[in-house]
Amino acid sequence: MSGAANDTIFGKILRNEIPCQKVYEDEDVLAFQDIHPAAEVHFLIIPKKFIPSLAEVGMDDAPLLGKMMALVPQLAKEQGLADGFRVAVNTGRMGRQDVYHLHIHVFGNRPGGAPLSGMAGAH
């Protein structure tokens, strides 16, 4: 598997060393519920390829990144976010990234719940 040198918690999840609540998986991508949800629904989409952060992404990764982003509306709808959601990619120290395996946060409240406030992120 790509990411063999990946010692992050998400590397462990990819290697089935620790469990996750899976939302979606294919040959390139895994999505799972965030363990500390910032809203009623909060899941993460990660590439199986080990890329530490958005700051390390190159043009070669454009198809993979495009696929991850294109999965967002499908998975958001499946998870109950039929009336909108927020996407965040915390990047680097100044972006308050905690886990250095690229991930897209997708979060929001279900229809009928309160809209998210301001620019609050996934922290």
**Between 9 and 87, whose beta carbon lies closer to ligand 5GP?**
9
Question: Could you tell me the smallest distance in angstroms from the CB atom of residue 51 to ligand 5GP?
Answer: 13
Q: Under DSSP, is residue 69 helix (H, G, I), strand (E, B) or coil? A: helix
Q: Is 36 in the site for ligand 5GP (CB under 6 A)?
A: yes
Number of residues in contact with ligand 5GP under rule CB under 6 A: 13
Q: Which of residues 39-78 bind ligand 5GP (CB under 6 A)?
A: none
Question: Could you tell me the smallest distance in angstroms from the CB atom of residue 53 to ligand 5GP?
Answer: 9
Nearest to 90, CA basis, from 100, 78, 82: 100
Q: Which residues are catalytic?
A: 103
Among 14, 46, 68, 90, interactor with ligand 5GP by CB under 6 A = 90
Site residues, ligand 5GP (CB under 6 A): 9, 20, 32-36, 90, 96-99, 122
